[in-house]
């Protein structure tokens, strides 16, 4: 079955524009649910030997967090506690208000650290603190700048590689169109996946934006471009036979998309079900990473089928396109002296 993707391209463009506008609005104008490595937060690790009630501990910590105030304002925005049972390990994460002066904030953090340990010892006197992480402003600035730089380098490096790899597909097709389309689709995937994740974090506060989130976005880039390359490569494979039969550009693209559709869907579904299993049955510490990957898998599959090729058509629909003719070499040209 051949899809009429090119004919219906404006429908797919409209859907993407709507998701992009909502995603950009959420990222720019809503309060993001940031992890401790992107705010002034703390994370303490504890070991224990007896059985503990994590729900009771979580409740007591939340009550204690409400008592930590500065100028009649609660200092701790959110708190979470979870266990890794097979390791007899407990983690307590607290997110603090970043608007407070640094010296005072550090004092409040230390006070809560002491009180948290006292609360934990009420459940099990053997509990001991094994590690303590305190994130300051300088580290957040470093993470933010590094994340943006890494994303930018990855996107543009991939784009220029594709421009070189597909520069000989056909005479008349703009070499830079492959680069521009790649950049557009990658930004499309990253922004929409981020927007969907922000919506999830509004309803489920445990989903934080942290370094796992950034890592997931970089992984999305790799998966999304892999699917797009498969479609582009099929276009290249179909080009020689179809252009010789005077087939138009839109038909070549539609046939190529249809040829790769089954492969794209099956590959994406395989990854989707694996990620879904990890999300529900895997460790809680990587759940937000897996959720971003889930969104990226869906959005990346959509863009490789319904956005990349239609954009290629838009860039080249008014150009005179033909097969690249290889230059015939004479016997003398082949002789090396």
DSSP string, 19-87: HHHHHHHHHHHS---B-GGGTTEEEEEEE-SS---HHHHHHHHHHHHTT-EETTEE-EEEEEEEEEGGG
10 Å Cβ neighbour count for 60? 19
**Residue 13 pLDDT class (50, 70, 90 cuts):** very high
Mean pLDDT (whole number) for 16-42: 86
**Residue 20 pLDDT class (50, 70, 90 cuts):** very high
Structure tokens belonging to residue 109: 């953090």
10 Å Cβ neighbour count for 299? 26
pLDDT for 141: 67
Mean pLDDT (whole number) for 206-216: 81
**Residue 326 pLDDT class (50, 70, 90 cuts):** very low
pLDDT for 243: 67
List, in sequence order, every residue forming a beta bridge with 69; answer none if it has no partner. Answer: 74
Which of 175, 188, 191 lies closest to 315, judged by CA? 175
**Residue 137 pLDDT class (50, 70, 90 cuts):** low
Query: In Å, how far are 89, 229, 263 from 54, measured between CA atoms?
Result: 11, 47, 45
Q: What does pTM read for this prediction?
A: 0.74
pLDDT for 52: 85
Higher pLDDT pick, 287 / 206: 287
pLDDT for 225: 81
**Residue 191 pLDDT class (50, 70, 90 cuts):** very high
Which of 121, 128, 118 lies closest to 52, judged by CA? 121
| Structural domains of the chain, with CATH | 9-33+139-316 (1.20.1640.10), 40-134 (3.30.70.600)
């Amino acid at each position: 079955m051949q899809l009429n993707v090119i004919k219906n391209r404006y429908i797919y463009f409209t859907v993407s524009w709507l998701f992009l506008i909502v995603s950009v609005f959420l990222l720019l104008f809503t309060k993001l649910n940031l992890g401790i490595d992107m705010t002034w937060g703390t994370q303490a690790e504890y070991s224990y030997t007896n059985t503990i009630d994590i729900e009771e501990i979580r409740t007591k910590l939340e009550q204690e967090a409400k008592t930590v105030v500065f100028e009649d304002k609660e200092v701790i925005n959110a708190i979470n506690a979870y266990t890794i049972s097979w390791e007899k390990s407990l983690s307590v994460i607290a997110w603090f208000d970043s608007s407070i002066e640094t010296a005072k904030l550090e004092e409040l953090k230390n006070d809560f650290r002491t009180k948290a340990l006292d609360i934990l010892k009420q459940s099990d006197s053997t509990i001991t603190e094994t590690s303590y992480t305190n994130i300051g402003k300088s580290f957040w600035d470093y993470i933010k700048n590094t994340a943006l730089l890494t994303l930018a380098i990855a996107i543009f490096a991939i784009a220029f590689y594709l421009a070189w790899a597909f520069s000989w597909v056909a005479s008349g097709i703009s070499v830079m169109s492959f680069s521009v389309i790649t950049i557009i689709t990658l930004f499309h995937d990253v922004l929409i996946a981020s927007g969907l994740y922000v919506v999830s974090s509004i309803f489920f506060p445990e989903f934080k934006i942290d370094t796992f989130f950034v890592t997931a976005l970089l992984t999305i880039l790799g998966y999304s471009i892999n699917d797009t390359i498969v479609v582009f490569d099929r276009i290249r494979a179909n080009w020689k036979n179809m252009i010789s039969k005077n087939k138009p550009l839109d038909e070549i693209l539609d046939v190529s998309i249809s040829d790769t559709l089954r492969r794209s869907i099956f590959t994406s579904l395989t990854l989707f079900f694996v990620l879904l299993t990890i999300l529900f049955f895997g460790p809680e510490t990587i759940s937000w990473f897996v959720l971003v990957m889930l969104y990226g898998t869906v959005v990346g599959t959509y863009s490789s089928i319904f956005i990349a090729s239609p954009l290629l058509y838009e860039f080249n629909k008014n150009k005179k396109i033909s097969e690249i003719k290889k230059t015939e070499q004479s016997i003398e040209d082949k002789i090396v002296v």
